[in-house]
Amino acid sequence: MEFMVQESSAGEREPTSRAVRVAFFGGSFDPPHNGHLAVARAAREALGLDRVLFAPVGAQPLKPQGSTADFHHRLAMTELAIAGEPAFGVSLLDAPNPAGTPNYTLHTLQKLKADMPGVNLFCLMGADSFVSLRRWYGAAEIPFEATLVIASRPGEDIQDLAAHVPAGLALEIPQFCLQSANPDIALVTCALRNPQGRTASLYILPGLNVEVSATEVRAQIRSGNIADAAHPLIPGAVAGYVREHGLYL
């Protein structure tokens, strides 16, 4: 089955169709926080995404110490975090492997593509993840499986991304600085070129810089600072779940 959406714009007689735009957003979500939501919302608006799939990871290959909360808690909290956002969903694509082996993003994206033929696939990540990309399994192939969308993040120099592209790829920056479906959200379009001359688009959201990390959230919970539902770092429903299950203490 091909996934298409019908679009009609002013002056057009017939609606045109375009491939459905789906973004994969992998992470530990330990716990999910307002930074994750801000990245997904900005990407959805700037790129006209139809769906963002939040996929809590079973075993992150570059975090051998594992996550703090069990997978079922991270999954439940991610569901609570995105409730009320109709374009967002939670995916089990990166659920723990039966043998506990690491989840590789390359394989996950290939599975997703096979499950959703014809979909225009994107992969969201923060600038800190992009900086580590060259150490990921099959790093040079990933941008050709899904168009990368990189969100700026405090502490990461967005001007310096070219220094971190996977070995064998070259970043051409920027081709042009426009195309955002929402003029309030800056979007920079670049291209990655492989040695065979094949190019893949890569998008940067340079204006985000949301000062939240799960590490900071866990530290605040440990020190008793996330007691009420109106905390600025995490959705209220996530704070409630954390309290109810005594997580991160």
The reply on whether position 36 binds ligand ATP by CB under 6 A is: yes
Strand pairing report for 16-19 and 120-126:
unpaired
Q: Of these, 42, 59, 151, 188, which contacts ligand ATP (CB under 6 A)?
A: 151
Give, as ranges, the residues between 131 and 150 that touch ligand ATP (CB under 6 A): none
Q: Which stretch, 22-30, 83-91, 115-123, 177-185, contacts ligand ATP (CB under 6 A)?
A: 22-30
Q: Report d(CA 201, CA 164) in Å as an integer.
A: 16
Residue with nearest beta carbon to ligand ATP: 126
Name beta bridge partners: 188.
204
Does 128 engage in binding with ligand ATP (CB under 6 A)? yes
In the set 21, 23, 27, 73, which binds ligand ATP (CB under 6 A)? 27
Q: Please tell me whether residue 153 binds ligand ATP under the rule CB under 6 A.
A: yes
Identify the helix (H) or strand (E) that includes residue 127: helix 127-132
Distance CA(38)–CA(197), nearest Å, equals 34
Q: Does 28 bind ligand ATP (CB under 6 A)?
A: yes
Segment interacting with ligand ATP, rule: CB under 6 A, options 21-29, 178-186, 220-228, 237-245: 21-29
- What gap in Å lies between CA 27 and CA 197, rounded to an integer? 31
* 95 DSSP 8-state letter: P
Query: Which is nearer to ligand ATP, 18 or 226 (by Cβ)?
Result: 226
On the question of a cis peptide bond just before residue 31, with omega within 30 degrees of 0, the verdict is yes
Among 81, 96, 110, 118, CA closest to 238: 81
Binding to ligand ATP, residues 51-110 (CB under 6 A): none
Among 21, 23, 24, 35, binds ligand ATP (CB under 6 A): 35
Burial (Cβ within 10 Å: 0-12, 13-18, ≥19) of residue 134: middle
Residue from the set 173, 213, 237, 243 that interacts with ligand ATP by CB under 6 A: 213
Q: Residue 61's closest CA among 26, 92, 36?
A: 26
Residues that bind ligand ATP (CB under 6 A): 27-30, 35-36, 39, 125-126, 128-129, 151, 153, 208, 210, 212-215
